[in-house]
Amino acid sequence: MNRNPYSRYYVPGPSPWPFFVAISANGMAVGLILWLHRTPSFVLMGMSLVCMLLSTFSWWRDLIREGDIGLHTRFVIKSFRDGVALFILSEVMFFFTFFWTFFHNALSPSCELGMRWPPPGIRTPNPSSTSLFETGLLISSGLFVTQAHKSMRLKDYDVGPFIGLVVTIVCGTVFFLVQLREYYWNSYTIADSVYGSVFYLLTGFHGMHVVVGTIWLTVSLVRLWRGEFSSQRHFGFEACIWYWHFVDVVWVALWCLVYVWFGGWLYMWWFKMWDGDVYTFKYPDAKPSWYAYIQEEHAPSWYKVPDHLKA
């Protein structure tokens, strides 16, 4: 790396790690495509994964060394902040595409879906069961990691940050394990209509982000143990907190929309509360909503098929 004493920035020297990361990422993508075509290449996937781990570890090691020898000025840190902010913005757009797909099908179900949402035959998970526990885990983890950051800014390097990070890591690990358990007991798969596809894409990619965030928190815990953070110099940990809060917010939105509202449970609760007398259409002879007509006892006389027309 070359440092110009008259410049606010520095120019890193030639590094092989971007090349190796690109090659390993390409190998993992090819391995995934082969696995989807039911011709898996475990050797290719294994070699690519090992190369990716070693390359990223070496790349991060060099980056930490640059900071230790004083090359990360406040202008460089500002560029890091802008980069992390843009990265999180790109992640927001990534999840926005899946939410857009979900709303497109949920707000106007097509004939192929029976013009109902959730589609007929889909037994959606109960939002007050496993998913509610997962929501509590992520909200609690967000509080603990915020407390850890606050303790670090107050120069408490011995107790507060360690407890907060350890509890957050445990919450992230338990969340991922509970999500795997939920996948195992679900009554539908990713191939069951558009609901199953969007549900598993949304929750699955969020689960992968939880795994990445947990690994990032573990790296921050190791660096904290080695004394690489101070009250004024801990942007690596701060960026990790930003990412973890993003994961929390996405899950809360996912739980409210996918599990509670468009999972059918909110409407079912409202429907039972009013005993089927839900006024959504204002026709003179039709007081209950169309959803109530599914139940025979709530259907008005004009909606029922006349007896002389029944076969």
The 10s digit of each residue's pLDDT in 56-105 is 889 888 888 887 777 777 788 888 889 999 999 999 999 999 999 988 88
- Rounded distance, CA 122 to CA 298, Å? 23
User: What pLDDT does 19 receive?
Assistant: 93
Domains, the chain, ordered by start: 1-72 (1.10.287.70), 73-305 (1.20.120.80)
164-to-89, 158, 178, 248 alpha-carbon distances in Å: 26, 11, 21, 16
Tell me which residues of the chain have a pLDDT lower than 50: 1, 279-294
Taking each helix axis from N to C terminus, what angle separates 193-225 and 160-185, rounded to the nearest 10 degrees? Answer: 160
Phi, psi (rounded to 5 degrees) for 160: -55, -55
Nearest CA to 10 among 85, 88, 62?
62
User: What pLDDT does 251 receive?
Assistant: 95
Query: For 152-171, how does the pLDDT look when each residue is reduced to its tens digit (9 = 90+)?
Result: 888 887 788 899 999 999 99
Task: List, in order, residues 6 or more apart from 31 with CB less than 8 Å away.
Answer: 40, 41, 44, 45, 48
What's the pTM?
0.77
User: What pLDDT does 290 receive?
Assistant: 44
C-beta pairs of 233-237 under 8 Å, 24+ apart in sequence: 233/67, 234/152, 235/77, 235/80, 235/81, 236/64, 237/149, 237/152
User: What pLDDT does 23 receive?
Assistant: 94
- The DSSP 8-state label assigned to residue 305 in this structure reads P
Helices (H), the chain: 17-36, 42-68, 74-107, 130-153, 160-185, 193-225, 235-254, 265-273
